[in-house]
Amino acid sequence: MELVELTEEIVKSLVVDKDGVSVKEFPTEEENVILIQVMVDENDIGRVIGKNGRTANAIRTLVQASSALKDNKFVKIDIDKF
C-alpha cells in the first residue's frame, strides 16, 4: 500500500465526514523526504490531531514505519483543516 493511501485510510477511519478528507503528496527539495498534506473538515480536526497531538503522532509513526519497510524515506505529515 502506498504511503498516501495508507495515510488516507487511517484518517478516514477517524473522522465523521469521510468525504471531507484530502490527502496529497508534494515534492520536496530533499531526495529522501516525502511530504504528505492531510486536509480535513474543520469539525474533524480534533479527532485527527487528538489530545496533545497523540493521534497525529501515532499516524506519523505508522506511516514512517511503512516507509521504512519500502523506500526508507523520512515522512513529514502536515495536518490542516478546510
The pLDDT assigned to 82 comes to 84
User: What pLDDT, on a 0 to 100 scale, did the predictor assign at position 1?
Assistant: 59
Give every CB contact of residue 72 below 8 A, 6+ residues apart in sequence.
Answer: 32
Per CATH, the homologous superfamily of domain 3-81 is: K homology (KH) domain (3.30.300.20)
**Residue 71 pLDDT level (bands cut at 50, 70, 90):** confident
pLDDT tens-digit readout, 42-70: 999 999 999 999 999 999 999 999 999 98
Element at 40 (helix H, strand E): strand 33-40
Q: Where are the domains of the chain?
A: 3-81
Which pLDDT tens digit goes with each residue over 16-40? 999 999 999 998 999 899 999 999 9
Residues sharing a CB contact under 8 Å with residue 51, sequence separation 6 or more, in sequence order: none
